[in-house]
Structure 1
Amino acid sequence: MGYVIGILLGLLAAGFLLFFFFRKRRKPVVEPEAPLPPTMVELLAQNVPYYASLPDEKQPVFAERVNQFLANVTIEGVDTEVTDVDKVLVASSAVIPVFAFDDWQYPNLTNVVLYDSTFNEKTFETEGADRRTMGLVGTGGALQSSMALSKSALLNGFLNKTSKENTGIHEFVHLLDKVDGEIDGAPERMMPKEHLQPWLRLMHETMQQMETGRTDINPYGLTNEAEFFAVVSEYFFKRPDLLKQKHPELFEQLELIFKQNPTTERKVLEGDEGF
């Protein structure tokens, strides 16, 4: 009997530690000193189709979320200027996937580093061979709280309206995937437990289809489960009508994960709670 009680107490302690880890590690939130400047709100309207498609009453909410992100995360350039457009696009990339989750802040993200173009994943050099990386999320050491993005890829993700790719959203989805402790394509904290196994099954079925070439999904999603999740999330937010038409099951699962339907005017599903 004492042995059983000891096990139960151990499980309760482990549960408490997990709760503490996920709920208390969030850095203190810095509130913006002023509203987002009108010039930057205009940049949102001009450069972020997701924002422009929101109903009038939700656009100020999105702008405030962008403003709060910029108050809490430093955006800096390496041998390149950081413009207001860059800031708006980075912040929008962060806000779009979590727009249904009120008060969400990316834990442990302190800065986003912009490179003018693609860079070397290991050396971060912007000249020479093997410069194929467009975005990277830090996973340890000095890069733990950082994200690196190519400015050209960031801009193309928003300005090229016919593609299914958006590098900024891709990298922030990796951060969301990381919240449960592992970047593995299974965002356990974003979805009800009963939907996890159907998501994993659909993910692997779709990856098998991709191996035969019978799909229009970016083949980079075959790299691993984490990249698959990020790739189809880009598709979900960038070309939702096309994804819903060609991959209705994927669309439905991503709708459950992000608690959004980008094909509707209101975007956010009513009655859903955040993390």
Structure 2
Amino acid sequence: MQLVVVTGLSGAGKSTALKALEDLGYFASDNLPPSLWPALTGELAASGVEKAALVVDSRAGRFLSQAPAALAQLGTGGVPTTLVFLEARPETLLRRYNLSRRAHPLGQGHLLREIERERELLAELRGLADWIIDTSDTSPGELADKLATLLGETRPFVLRLISFGFKWGPPQVADLLLDARALPNPHWVEELRPQTGLQQAVASYVFSAGDGYYQSLRRTVELAATAARDAGRSGYTVAVGCTGGRHRSVAVVERLARELAGNFEVEVEHRDVEKDG
């Protein structure tokens, strides 16, 4: 199996890195005592896990000193291990801590001294690192992209499209809610009412009044999803609603999925299409 160990200064982006690796399919664990790493990797390999990522830093306290020996044991045991060290300029770390209002793991009431003390504690691991990444001028998305590139991975971004009926309530997972009720309603056409937006006759009727409103919806989805991807997110969820969730919203989601498939990996869910009444 492939193991990535992430370490570095508090505030330099270790949580972001671990989440990015998790999104790439790595089994992720934060601050497990290093003496347990060989047993964990053996258990994961036996279970068929091919990629794992671990974080260790000053929060480990007295266990931190175990890390170099654990890395050596992994190497002797034939586990390919990549050590990534994240750091940033002191003024950047100060700003990030001031924004987050979190206490430093070595909290003594003087942040600059804590940052320098942490550098000293992690100096040995820094010297062992395969890659040292300065995140001072790096956004979370850029850090995720950099890790993916270094590891030879492709970061997935999934655009999730959900159709729903407002009468049943909007999906709680949506990043963006769109309203398809301005489009022609097949519910009032007797031969179309039993069908759904998955049928071509219903879709043709929904878009019979022209493309102006639909194109505004599509443009909104494209802009929002592109911005989310550029910001480093691994996915974005758009929910399109109509009254019952069987006709207009389904037709719109199906068309969006077809037309945006060239720009995004698209997943579709028709939440209420089977409901009646």
Do both share a fold (TM > 0.5)?
no
Q: Which of structures 1 and 2 has the larger relative contact order (alpha carbons within 8 angstroms, sep 6+)?
A: 2
Structure number with higher helix proportion: 1
Whose radius of gyration is greater, 1 or 2? 2
TM range (shorter): under 0.3
